Amino acid sequence: MTQPPIMGNPEAPTTAEDTATSHHTGGTSANGTPTAGRGPVPRVGGLPAALKRRVPKYADLAPLMQFQKPDFGREAKLRRASTIWDLRDIAKRRTPKAPFDYTDGAAEAEITLRRARQAFLDIEFRPGILRDVSSVDLGTEILGKAARLPFGIAPTGFTRMMQSEGEYAGSRAAAAAGIPYTLSTMGTASIEDVAAAAPDGRNWFQLYLWTDRDRSLELIERAAQAGNDTLMVTVDTAVAGARLRDVRNGMTIPPALTLKTVLDASYRPAWWFNFLTHEPLTFASLSRYTGTVADLINSMFDPTLTFADLDWLRETWKGKLVVKGIQTVDDARKVVDHGADGIVLSNHGGRQLDRAPIPFHLLPEVSAALKADNSDAAVILDTGIMSGADIIAALALGADFTLIGRAYLYGLMAGGRAGVDRAIQILETDMRRTMALLGVSRISELTPDHVRLLAR
């Protein structure tokens, strides 16, 4: 009785009988070499010649020996940073705890910040294939002018406290990248100095309306005279949020030299050397201040603000007017009805009301509502952005533009102007790669179909 053939494991070792030769039914050429078909294939010790071990030759090793001199300098560390999280790690090592936590932290239990970042993780991209993505254009238009990239730098307070180059590094890096830079009322460089530092940049000014309207008017006039084309009024700060890291660190303006800070400085001497050998912190809105961060914020914020104040601003400011801190669909519609040219969906980076709405979750509904109203107001989004893929997801779901705050501050703390440049480069590289893999070559081609929100 004939035995049926047995199918073996193709990766199992073969026997000596199997490996001695392989037979081939082809013929030979005139010089005796095998022709096409099956025939004897030389084997060495039962293995193909390529798999027999041998002593490597120097000529084979030389191309593999590409040793480089170790480089531990700041520039090398920045080059090796591949993500914003990498920059954050460098920043944490270089910056004292109090200013680092001021940047890194949020209000109360920091639930809002965690949820905002998680929102960008809880998505699925839906790529298209067989599209020509040999050239990806990240350019867009925001508030009537072109931007080379679909994000700008958000307003951040006390920026020279994070690193001595502060707003000067941020504004110059933004100008070089062809994106807007927003100076905060609580910035540590004056409106005029920032304009002088980046004369070719597109500078915006962020305003906290004070109870003293004359002082607010003075800032508005200075911003206009310095060439700022957009005024961004922040409206989510009736009182200061409970930023518990700052409370626990005893955060003051300027930083106080307590025993705790002196000990912290011993690990970060470069930061303290820069801080102590440069001009003391000054602000866009006041020349000097000494006290806690919360005291300063509460002295500046106006809890009596209403839509009537927005009407006053619209009449006073002749440029583009953007309202930052929108967290509901109704408020988005209302501020547009009161003359806003754009809105920023933002919960202040999670630094005001903990458990506040997440801008990324709110985005599709707000975008749809404004479109239904035939509004051409710009929809801008911030909070939680830590990668270029996050920005692309926001644009796909209806944002016209985005702002980065912590992401650029991590770069600033990691390496000053060079660190901000690196943060922008990382985000740009992320965006180009994500767009190409989605099968999209222009921002205008992004649609909600490119993103699916995953259920948790």
Q: Which residues are catalytic?
A: 348
Please state, as a whole number, how many other Cβ atoms lie within 10 Å of the Cβ of residue 391.
29
Q: How far is CA 414 from CA 128, 296, 408, 422, in A?
A: 37, 27, 10, 10
DSSP 3-state of 207: strand
What DSSP state is assigned to residue 373?
T
The CB-side HSE value for 64 (13 A sphere, CA atoms) comes to 6
User: What is the C-alpha to C-alpha distance for residues 420 and 409, in angstroms, rounded to an integer?
Assistant: 7
Q: How far is CA 35 from CA 26, 31, 39, 50, 292, in A?
A: 6, 11, 8, 21, 88
Dihedral over Cα of 378, 384, 385, 389: its sign: negative
User: What is the C-alpha to C-alpha distance for residues 156 and 293, in angstroms, rounded to an integer?
Assistant: 13
CA angle 251, 252, 254 (to 5 degrees): 130
User: What is the C-alpha to C-alpha distance for residues 44 and 54, in angstroms, rounded to an integer?
Assistant: 12
User: What is the C-alpha to C-alpha distance for residues 66 and 81, in angstroms, rounded to an integer?
Assistant: 21
Amino acid at 150: P
Task: Write out the DSSP string of 302-340.
Answer: -TT--HHHHHHHHHH--SEEEEEEE-SHHHHHHHHHTT-
Q: Is 330 left (phi over 0), alpha (psi -120 to 50) or beta?
A: alpha
User: What is the C-alpha to C-alpha distance for residues 407 and 404, in angstroms, rounded to an integer?
Assistant: 6
Q: Which one, of 234, 229, 263, lies nearest residue 345 by Cα? A: 234
Q: How many helices (H) and strands (E) does the chain have?
A: 19, 14
Most distant CA pair in the chain: distance in Å? 108
What DSSP state is assigned to residue 231?
E
Amino acid at 416: G
Amino acid at 144: G
Q: Which residues contact 244 (CB under 8 A, 6 or more apart)?
A: 105, 107, 108
User: What is the C-alpha to C-alpha distance for residues 267 and 260, in angstroms, rounded to an integer?
Assistant: 12
